[in-house]
């Protein structure tokens, strides 16, 4: 793929954040973005890296009315000797194409997506923060841009990538989260959009998350849309439980997002010889295991936090503590291993790290 590069003039460039400890998430954006358009006649065309700027849009653009949008989220890490490291980027690009199929958007060859991310993070390599735990977050996005209010798949789209430095999730140490098991709203039903990474799933989740926050919780635990009994995901992460000596996560049943971090945890734990299962987990079983002491740990997995320990579950009006509200040994070991590989400190025995630039 031919990528044109129009880099920002020095005077156009934004000041870089001075303090890595104040980065937060998704508030600061780097100097450039990647753009390319799609039309039925021309396919994908005009791939380019340009200065970060607003995107002019027709108010009739289909994405604004019917939500035809998908995205991805991955990070560029500052590795040994300043290397730019991406973690399993092909898994993100393959997932992008599966999401595209589900939302009737056109796919993009994974090599082209990789080339686009490479070109962009190379142009903005000075934006990759160096402090351990920080990174440059990369957000590929595809939207339907045809102007029209008829309900059908758009024949024109825009693919763009923006990036921005993000902070260390655990700058103040591990803080296990307080989770409300959601009893009324659902995130996704089988046959719906649950396994696609699309803004619509997030729109569906906002009200439950807002109400949970008002009650003092960090996030909600989503149950299946049928009987509200099987555990699906936690907030915007996949969920794992440690029952006795067994590491368990719900199977990819169609309404669960297939996380890259989830897959990495499963792979590493299996290689370590742990007992690992992808099987349905009922809320009844979770409460039973808390009460008989066999639930040792619970944690969420996702690119943002990598591993997020669950300290408290609130279910049907009762609060339950998990592992005394502390981070567990297994969560800690997996966190150290995955972040060690991401930052190039632990040998990459799986070939997961792609060096950009
Ligand atoms: C992105 C996402 C995840 C985590 O996926 P990773 O690839 O591990 O970052 C989990 N659940 C939902 C709903 C997501 O959107």
- Residues 188-223 pLDDT 10s: 999 999 999 999 999 999 999 999 999 999 999 999
Ligand 1 pocket: which of 75, 239, 302 to mutate (most atoms <8 Å of CB)?
Answer: 302
Q: Which two tokens stand for residue 170?
A: 């655990």
Could you give the residue ranges of the DSSP H alpha helices within the chain? 62-66, 89-102, 110-123, 199-214, 260-271, 283-291, 329-342
Measure 177 CA to ligand 1 centroid, in angstroms.
17
Which residue ranges make up each domain of the chain? 4-166, 177-342
User: Ligand 1 center to residue 160 CA distance, Å?
Assistant: 19
pLDDT digit string, tens, across residues 163-192: 999 998 887 778 899 999 999 999 999 999
How many whole angstroms from 276 Cα to the centroid of ligand 1? Answer: 20
Atom of ligand 1 nearest to the CA of 261: 8
Pocket test for ligand 1, best of 69, 71, 72, 73 (most atoms within 8 A of CB): 73
Instruction: Please state the pTM of the whole predicted model.
Output: 0.97
**SS in 3 state form for 237-267?**
EEEEEEECCEEEECCCCCCCCCCHHHHHHHH
Shortest-distance Cα residue to atom 13 of ligand 1 = 236
What pLDDT was estimated at residue 216?
96
Report d(CA 220, CA 210) in Å as an integer: 10
Residue 231, CB-side half-sphere exposure with 13 Å CA sphere: 31
| Smallest CA separation from ligand 1 atom 5, residue | 259
Residues with CB under 6 A from ligand 1: 73, 197, 201, 233, 236-238, 257, 259-262, 301-303
For the CA of 260, the closest atom of ligand 1 is 7
- Report the pLDDT value the prediction gives residue 175, as an integer from 0 to 100: 85
Which pLDDT belongs to residue 170? 81
- Determine the distance separating the centroid of ligand 1 and the alpha carbon of 282, expressed in angstroms: 21
Q: Is 199:71 a contact under the CB 8 Å cutoff?
A: yes
What CATH number does domain 4-166 carry, 3.40.50.300, 3.30.470.10, 3.20.20.80, 3.10.150.10?
Answer: 3.30.470.10
pLDDT of residue 326: 85
Atom number, ligand 1, closest to the C-alpha of residue 301: 8
Among candidates 138, 24, 23, which has minimal Cα distance to 71? 138
Candidate CATH numbers 3.40.1180.10, 3.20.10.10, 3.90.1150.10, 3.20.20.70; the one for domain 177-342: 3.20.10.10
d(CA 100, CA 95): 8
pLDDT at 294: 97
Q: How far is the CA of 233 from the centre of ligand 1 (A)?
A: 9
Identify the residue whose C-alpha is closest to ligand 1 atom 12.
236
Instruction: Give the residues of the chain that fall short of pLDDT 70.
Output: none
């Amino acid at each position: 793929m031919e990528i044109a590069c129009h880099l920002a003039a020095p005077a156009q460039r934004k000041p870089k954040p001075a303090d890595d400890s104040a980065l937060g998430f998704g508030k600061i954006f780097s100097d450039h973005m990647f753009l390319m358009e799609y039309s039925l006649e021309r396919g994908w065309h005009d791939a380019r890296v340009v200065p970060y700027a607003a995107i002019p849009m027709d108010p009739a653009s289909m994405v604004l009315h019917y939500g035809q949008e998908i995205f991805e989220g991955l990070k560029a890490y500052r590795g040994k000797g300043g290397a730019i490291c991406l973690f399993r980027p092909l898994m993100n690009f393959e997932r992008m194409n599966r999401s595209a199929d589900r939302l009737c958007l056109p796919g993009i060859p994974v090599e082209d997506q990789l080339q686009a991310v490479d070109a962009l993070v190379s142009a903005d390599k000075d934006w990759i923060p160096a402090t351990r735990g920080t990174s440059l977050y990369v957000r590929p996005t595809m939207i339907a841009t045809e102007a029209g209010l008829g309900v059908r798949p758009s024949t024109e789209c825009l693919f763009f990538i923006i990036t921005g430095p993000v902070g260390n999730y655990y700058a103040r140490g591990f803080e296990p989260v307080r989770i409300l098991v959601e009893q009324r709203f659902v995130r996704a039903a089988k046959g719906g959009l649950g396994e696609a990474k699309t803004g619509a799933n997030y729109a569906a989740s906002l009200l439950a998350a807002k109400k949970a926050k008002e009650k003092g919780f960090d996030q909600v635990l989503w149950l299946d849309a049928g009987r509200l009994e099987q555990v699906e995901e936690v907030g915007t992460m996949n969920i794992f439980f440690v029952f006795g000596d067994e590491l368990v996560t719900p199977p990819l049943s169609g309404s669960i997002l297939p996380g890259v971090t989830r897959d990495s945890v499963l792979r590493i734990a299996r290689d370590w010889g742990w007992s690992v299962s992808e099987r349905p987990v009922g809320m009844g079983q979770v409460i039973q295991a808390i009460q008989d002491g066999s639930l040792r740990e619970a944690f969420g997995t996702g690119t943002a936090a990598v591993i997020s320990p669950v300290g408290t579950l609130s279910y049907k009006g009762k609060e339950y503590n998990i592992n005394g509200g502390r981070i567990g040994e297994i969560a800690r070991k997996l966190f150290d291993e995955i972040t060690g590989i991401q930052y190039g400190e632990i040998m990459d025995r799986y070939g997961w790290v792609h060096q950009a630039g």
